[in-house]
């Protein structure tokens, strides 16, 4: 299946389990891959036939900026559900990285795969 992807989408959010983390905003980085049949927009050359990565990015930025979860697991799950529910995507792979959260690691975080069929 074809994919539409969004790579390295950086968004500042309130996230974390420690008291000091509840008082600051931290950068999060999203890599998102969404299954989509790109043959139709390729034939019509029409933006309306695409899975519009700008529209998805805008929605993810809006949601994550306003969120305040403790765990990256929770946030990743909610963002994946939004993509499946609101954009008619059948399958999504989402990596959520929290750079700088662990000294010595470039980033830590989670990678999840979710399907509309199993929601």
Q: By CB under 6 A, name the binding residues for ligand LV4SOB2L.
A: 16-18, 21, 71-73, 98, 101
> Among residues 56 and 75, whose Cβ is nearest to ligand LV4SOB2L?
75
Smallest distance, ligand LV4SOB2L to C-beta of residue 30, A: 15
Query: Cβ(32)–Cβ(9) under 8 Å?
Result: yes
Q: Going by C-beta distance under 8 Å and a sequence separation of 6 or more, which residues neighbour residue 4? A: 33, 34, 36, 38, 50, 51, 53, 56
Smallest distance, ligand LV4SOB2L to C-beta of residue 78, A: 13
Gap between the Cα atoms of 53 and 75, Å rounded: 19
> Among residues 98 and 114, whose Cβ is nearest to ligand LV4SOB2L?
98
């Amino acid at each position: 299946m074809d994919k539409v992807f969004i790579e390295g989408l950086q968004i500042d959010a309130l996230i974390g389990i420690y008291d000091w983390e509840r008082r600051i905003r931290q950068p999060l980085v999203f890599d998102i891959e969404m299954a989509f049949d790109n043959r139709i927009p390729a034939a019509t050359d029409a933006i309306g036939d695409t899975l519009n990565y700008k529209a998805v990015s805008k929605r993810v930025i809006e949601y994550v900026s306003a969120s305040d979860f403790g765990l990256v697991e929770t946030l990743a799950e909610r963002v994946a559900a939004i993509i499946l529910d609101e954009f008619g995507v059948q399958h999504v792979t989402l990596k959520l990285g929290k750079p700088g959260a662990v000294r010595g690691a470039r980033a830590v975080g989670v990678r999840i795969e979710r399907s509309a069929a199993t929601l």
